[in-house]
Amino acid sequence: MKKSCEHQKDCMKLIQRILDKEASPEEEAAFLANKEQCIPCQEGYELETTLKKAIKEKCTAKCPEELFARIKEKLFLLIILISILIPLFC
- Say whether 38 sits in a helix, a strand or coil: strand
Task: Round to whole Å and give the CA distance between 60 and 54.
Answer: 11
pLDDT digits (tens, 9 = 90+) for 33-63: 888 888 999 999 999 999 999 988 888 888 8
Query: Domain locations in the chain?
Result: 1-59, 61-90
Task: Round to whole Å and give the CA distance between 72 and 65.
Answer: 10
pLDDT digits (tens, 9 = 90+) for 1-36: 888 888 888 889 999 999 999 999 999 999 988 888
